[in-house]
Structure 1
Amino acid sequence: METIVRCTVDMEFREAGPLTQAAAVLRMHDGTELKAHGVTSRHPDDPGQQRVGEEVAAARALHDLAAQLLEKAGVDIEELTHTPAHLSH
């Protein structure tokens, strides 16, 4: 039997001068939410490219989110099996 569930990731960006910040929220089907952040800073000599800053900040936020999700999965596995879980990136 196949089961399909839906999770969503919402991403919000803030820019202040050379800084771009990304905030990501993963909402899982069971109501669990994980929040992550990513930041990038444009070099003063670089031209202002809003999209590039958003891409880098988003990638960093998603990387943080992935690490949190692996950690959560490890804890969940350990609670079920009562043995250490070894998950890697």
Structure 2
Amino acid sequence: REGEDTSTSHHGLCWPKLHTLAVEGSDNRGRLQVTAVHHEISALQEAGHPIRKIKVPKAALGQVDAEAAADLREIVEVEEFWLDWPTPFEY
């Protein structure tokens, strides 16, 4: 159909039941870029994805702007996560 975005219209959303995302710090110091995450989650939600929770490392979460974090919490639940298994091939 003319003018219709066909990227998802034929097959529906990819992962239509995905409701939780885990993110790491997104800059070279491990800090979370809250504004960028907020923008991406908002875009996914507007596209119909039922994203309602993100998991963020405690260290990354502790370094974010409080106001930006509050804005993010308005659209999703924010929960801490940590890697608790060995990572022998870390670079």
Give TM-score scaled by structure 1 length.
0.26
Query: Where is the strand percentage greater, Structure 1 or Structure 2?
Result: 1
Query: Where is the helix percentage greater, Structure 1 or Structure 2?
Result: 1
Larger radius of gyration: 1
Give TM-score scaled by structure 2 length.
0.26
Of structures 1 and 2, the one scoring higher in RCO (CA 8 A, sep 6+) is 2
